[in-house]
Amino acid sequence: MNRFRRLSLIAGAASLALAASACSSQGGAQEDEADGVDMPELTIAMITHQVPGDTFWDLVRAGAEDAAAKSNITLEYSSDPEAAKQATLIQTAIDKEVDGIAITLAKPDALQEVIDKANDAGIPVVGLNAGIEHWEEAGLTEYFGADETLAGEAFGERLTEVGAEKALCVIHEQGHVALETRCKSLAETFEGDSETLYVDGASMPDVKSGITSKLQEDDEIDYVATLGAPYAMSAIDAVSEAESDAKIATFDTNKDLVGAVQDGHIEWAIDQQPYLQGYLAVDGLWLYNTNGNVSGGGQPVLTGPSFIDETNIDSVAEYAEKGTR
């Protein structure tokens, strides 16, 4: 069994464990309520690097909110794509003396000082989504997310398998460690040529025009690899406008992208289960606060990667309609 398949199974097991946990926890909460036992009230802050309009984060937040509702938690969600402003948001959470903080480490160096302050204040901090290679040295308690190196390698291998010859890897936020890792790892396993294109992910017109221009300049590009679902949707329009024959595959999903895979506009997506990341981050902080539990045994808790394509898209679609995949 290869390494990607093995870790995909681990991620699947994590999903099943979550489903079982959610069912038993909800039942327990109902029994506690019936017995008149109140769960402890906690306040947890979640700070991410979300770019306005990126629907990926709607899934992360939905998971976090469901976990918070289950456990009598007040969730304070905030975000900013600029690392310095993320640091300010984390400091605000520290000043409010919250019971736990969940953060993304897209640019870990910029957040280290304020992470240290949270630790000094005795506030547990967990990571999610970005920073799998940095969370432990940054001093976080736990990490919930996908193995980005493995995801990129699997993507590159699949490009080779389908006979691609030249891939354009589109990074929508320069300097974001997880995105840079995806393109780098893709290039290492892809037997064809690959090129990286940087676009401004905060501006969909810029994303579309950047991809369109590149495809018009280079008609040898036969695959566009985007690193987020909204950018894959823009790539569909870019390929059409450039009158290119390039196919599109992506990392990450949302409801629109699920439909695009069903319609054949997108070849595949690598899923890291963002709902699960948000859910586990909040649930992990609740467990730590109420019972001293730490998940992962010193290792990250993996939520992916796994492929979504025409063979399994229908099983994902029903949850996409609910806003959880």
Question: Is the pLDDT score of 280 beyond 70?
Answer: yes
Please give the domain boundaries of the chain with CATH numbers for all domains: 3-20+41-147+272-305 (3.40.50.2300), 148-271 (3.40.50.2300)
The answer to whether 201 and 258 are in contact (CB under 8 A) is: no
Question: Is the pLDDT score of 245 beyond 60?
Answer: yes
CA-nearest of 227, 266, 282, 308 to 21 is 282
Question: Is the pLDDT score of 239 beyond 60?
Answer: yes
- Tokens representing 198? 């940087």
DSSP state of 307: E
* Predicted model pTM: 0.85
Question: Is the pLDDT score of 250 beyond 70?
Answer: yes
Q: Between these two residues, 321 and 300, which has the higher pLDDT value?
A: 300
User: What's at 182, amino acid-wise?
Assistant: R
Phi and psi, residue 269, nearest 5°: -135, 145
Question: Is the pLDDT score of 190 beyond 50?
Answer: yes
The answer to whether 48 and 75 are in contact (CB under 8 A) is: no
H or E, element range at 154? helix 148-161
Adjacent-strand bridge partners of 195 = 168
Given pLDDT bands bounded at 50, 70 and 90, which one contains residue 151? very high
User: What's at 244, amino acid-wise?
Assistant: S
Question: Is the pLDDT score of 6 beyond 90?
Answer: no
Q: Is 48 helix (H, G, I), strand (E, B) or coil?
A: strand
Question: Is the pLDDT score of 193 beyond 70?
Answer: yes
- Tens digit of each residue's pLDDT (9 = 90 or more) over 58-101: 999 999 999 999 999 999 999 999 999 999 999 999 999 999 99
Could you please report the per-residue DSSP string of 160-215? Answer: HHTT--EEEEEESSTT-HHHHHHHHHHHHH-SSEEEEEE--TT-HHHHHHHHHHHH
Mean pLDDT of 112-129: 98
pLDDT at 14: 46
Taking the alpha carbons of 78, 79, 84, 90 in that order, is the dihedral positive or negative? Answer: positive
What gap in Å lies between CA 281 and CA 63, rounded to an integer?
9
Site of tokens 């290679």: 133
12: Cβ contacts below 8 Å, ≥ 6 apart:
306
Given pLDDT bands bounded at 50, 70 and 90, which one contains residue 38? low
pLDDT at 1: 46
The answer to whether 55 and 254 are in contact (CB under 8 A) is: yes
Question: Is the pLDDT score of 225 beyond 60?
Answer: yes
Question: Is the pLDDT score of 23 beyond 50?
Answer: no
Question: Is the pLDDT score of 121 beyond 90?
Answer: yes
DSSP state of 101: E
User: What is the average pLDDT value for the chain, to the nearest integer?
Assistant: 90
